[in-house]
Amino acid sequence: MSSPCPDLDLKPEMPRRLDHGIGIVGAGGVVNFAHLPAYSKAGFKVVGVTDMDRVRAEQTAATHKVPKVYTTLEELLRDPEVEVVDIAVYPWEVPAIAEKVIAAGRPFLCQKPLSIDYGTAARLVQMAKEAKVKMAVNQQMRWDAGIRGTQELIRKGWLGLATYATIQVHCLTNWAVWHSMYAGKHLEVLYHSIHYVDSLRFLFGGPDRVFSSGSRMPDEATEAETRTLSVWEYDSGLRVLIDVNHGVWQDDRYAIFRFEGTEGVIKGTIGLMYNYPTGRPDTLEFMSKKNPGYWHSARHDYLWIPDAFVGPMASLQRAIEDDSEPLTSGEDNLKTLQIVFAQYRSMDEGRVVSPKEVTG
């Protein structure tokens, strides 16, 4: 049996003003297929864009009707109309850009992962803190309907004490789109499962210990991991399983989540992972222990791309207005990165690792 659930608020908290000028650094894939469509839908004001490849910047500006193209980052930072900087380049390019943005005193949103090593991320967060510059990281899965709806249900007491949580994604990823990442040492967790790590930490807090095993298909050219199995242990008794495989040639691929607690069960599918990057709306179902066998389902038409991409920018702008911290602040993101790098340490050393072992 199922019934619609009318009162789940899946929308992000929006800024009071929509005219905070946004300057974008990087005019690549994610900016074109996600950031700019999301900002247009939300009514945000994008002032201009810069890219080391001027042609890409010009094409992006023309496609999305962005008024200005800057030749350099310095030119972007000199524009008084730019109130917020949106950095969407690969993580190894971030420090040089972020340092200039911090020196210019501009709040910024940075694509995930913030860095390819914990020490650099911690240094940037410290620099921003000392300069009193607000920074946020684009962990937008927190605003995807399945996760956002789950958080609402947890807040309303549907789950009770969490006992088991899992995200399982068995998909086929075309790594050619991300060839520079494919050539690196770390791949699946650092660039993909970091979303699941951040969302699970957002919902349930950080684990006390993690164990991870990474591998790849026999015919893959990369030295990095493309499939991972990770178990998180909490002293409370909660157990988490993250099971991701990017090399599924079979046609019965799936992307599911399931969260069990003392009072209820929440389960669903991650729509984006069925046909990336188009996606389809997540499903979200939940059952209360008080009414076993009666499944509620949340109905909505939100897509991860573009809808969830409104959340991190809205949160940063709201933090500017209220002089508060964005939900995915740099400081908060360090806790997600601690788990990411604890998982890598676990893979390297074949042992259970505490995220606290990962320090700057």
Ligand X SMILES: NC(=O)c1ccc[n+]([C@@H]2O[C@H](COP(=O)([O-])OP(=O)(O)OC[C@H]3O[C@@H](n4cnc5c(N)ncnc54)[C@H](O)[C@@H]3O)[C@@H](O)[C@H]2O)c1
* Nearest in space to 213 (alpha carbons), one of 353, 354, 346, 355: 346
Q: Are 128 and 105 in contact (CB under 8 A)?
A: no
Residue nearest to ligand X (CB): 28
Tell me which of 8, 22, 25, 122 binds ligand X, using CB under 6 A: 25
- Check binding of 51 to ligand X (CB under 6 A): yes
**CB 118 → ligand X: shortest distance, Å?**
16
**CB 92 → ligand X: shortest distance, Å?**
9
- Number of chain positions touching ligand X (CB under 6 A): 22
Contacts of 12 (CB under 8 A, 6+ apart): 143, 310, 311, 314, 315
- Check binding of 90 to ligand X (CB under 6 A): yes
* Calpha distance 228→215 (Å, rounded): 6
- Check binding of 184 to ligand X (CB under 6 A): no
* Nearest in space to 170 (alpha carbons), one of 113, 220, 240, 242: 242
- Check binding of 52 to ligand X (CB under 6 A): yes
- Check binding of 54 to ligand X (CB under 6 A): no
Q: Are 282 and 145 in contact (CB under 8 A)?
A: yes
- Check binding of 237 to ligand X (CB under 6 A): no
**CB 128 → ligand X: shortest distance, Å?**
18
**CB 268 → ligand X: shortest distance, Å?**
19
Q: What's the gap between Cα 124 and its chain centre? A: 18
Tell me which of 30, 131, 229, 256 binds ligand X, using CB under 6 A: 30
* Nearest in space to 338 (alpha carbons), one of 164, 121, 110, 142: 121
Tell me which of 88, 102, 133, 287 binds ligand X, using CB under 6 A: 88
Contacts of 244 (CB under 8 A, 6+ apart): 167, 168, 169, 170, 188, 192, 193, 196, 227, 228
- Check binding of 146 to ligand X (CB under 6 A): no
**CB 97 → ligand X: shortest distance, Å?**
6
Nearer to ligand X, 264 or 330 (CB): 330
- Check binding of 29 to ligand X (CB under 6 A): yes
- Check binding of 89 to ligand X (CB under 6 A): yes
Nearer to ligand X, 190 or 231 (CB): 190
Nearer to ligand X, 85 or 339 (CB): 85
DSSP state for residue 309 in the 8-state scheme:
G
For residue 78, give the amino acid letter: R
Nearer to ligand X, 115 or 269 (CB): 115
- Check binding of 311 to ligand X (CB under 6 A): no
DSSP state for residue 231 in the 8-state scheme:
E
Nearer to ligand X, 173 or 296 (CB): 173
Q: What angle do CA 92, 94, 95 make, to 5 degrees?
A: 95
* Nearest in space to 96 (alpha carbons), one of 76, 78, 73: 73
- Check binding of 187 to ligand X (CB under 6 A): no
- Check binding of 39 to ligand X (CB under 6 A): no
| Beta carbons within 10 angstroms of residue 352's beta carbon | 14
**CB 61 → ligand X: shortest distance, Å?**
13
**Residues in the site for ligand X, rule: CB under 6 A?**
25-31, 51-53, 56, 88-91, 93, 97, 111-112, 138, 140, 191
